[in-house]
Structure 1
């Protein structure tokens, strides 16, 4: 199975970079990276030491509803884009030993029983398992430490 990793969309990133309000109605905060643990949700790479980045509240859903969580995300303060992730690989910014994976249906609702903390080396297999289920359209990848949204995985084709 081929899996596509979907970063934050460029429309949202541009809006935030131009001082647009985040999902909580606040302007993004600008900070400078110390080079440790700042994963950009746009290019899916780590923000380098001394690089400026934004912190914003983001809800990666198309509508608001009970399952549409909002949380903090980081993105480079300057324009960046994601390169396609090679087949059989994970996005570069996934460096922690484990992550929360959760399956979502076509209405962007959590499919109960799909959530769990998964070791990094087991993530691709678990995503394939989840995405092979007919009622799962996407898998969200979140920090197992802070619950922050990282990206979405979908099945190609």
Structure 2
């Protein structure tokens, strides 16, 4: 099985960059990066020191329901290009020692028993285990310290 990592969609990023309301109805906050701990959810790269970025509330789900969590995300304030990520390769912006992984079904609802904190070095094995589990369609990767959404992992289409 091959794994694909999906960033924030471009339409959402452009909406936020143009001052559109976030998931809580607020305009994104504009800041300047100090060069540490600011992972852009759109390009899946770190925001560099001195670069402007936005903080916004985002709900990475297509519908609202009890499991559709909303939380803060960072993204470059200016247009950015997603990093080329090879299939099955963890995005380079995942730099913390561990993350929360949680499986979701086709209705984007949490599958109980799939969530847990996983060491960075063990993420790929856990993703493979989760994505081959019955009913799991996607896995969210979140900060283990702040629960912020980073990206989504799905089974990659094979040619």
Structure 1 stretches of 4+ with a deviation exceeding 4 A read: none
The Cα shift of 1:85 comes to 1.5
Give the unaligned 5+ runs of structure 1: none
The Cα shift of 1:82 comes to 1.3
The Cα shift of 1:71 comes to 0.2
Structure-1 residue corresponding to 2:91: 91
Structure-2 residue corresponding to 1:21: 21
Give the unaligned 5+ runs of structure 2: none
Residues 39-50 of structure 1 mapped to structure 2, 5 A cutoff: 39-50=39-50
Structure-2 residue corresponding to 1:35: 35
The Cα shift of 1:86 comes to 1.4
Structure-1 residue corresponding to 2:107: 107
Output the CA distance in 1 between the equivalents of 2:76 and 2:135: 34
For the aligned residue pairs, the C-alpha RMSD in angstroms reads 0.8
Please list the CA deviations of residues 22-66 of structure 1 after superposition, one character each: whole Å capped at 9, or x if unmatched: 000000000000000000000000000000000000000000000
Residues 8-157 of structure 1 mapped to structure 2, 5 A cutoff: 8-157=8-157
Please list the CA deviations of residues 101-156 of structure 1 after superposition, one character each: whole Å capped at 9, or x if unmatched: 00000000000000000000000000000000130000000000100000000001
Name the count of aligned residue pairs: 157
Please list the CA deviations of residues 51-109 of structure 1 after superposition, one character each: whole Å capped at 9, or x if unmatched: 00000000000000000000000000000121342133200100000000000000000
When normalised by structure 1's length, the TM-score is: 0.98
| Residues 8 and 42 in structure 2, CA contact (< 8 A), matched pair in contact too | yes
Output the CA distance in 1 between the equivalents of 2:89 and 2:5: 10
When normalised by structure 2's length, the TM-score is: 0.97
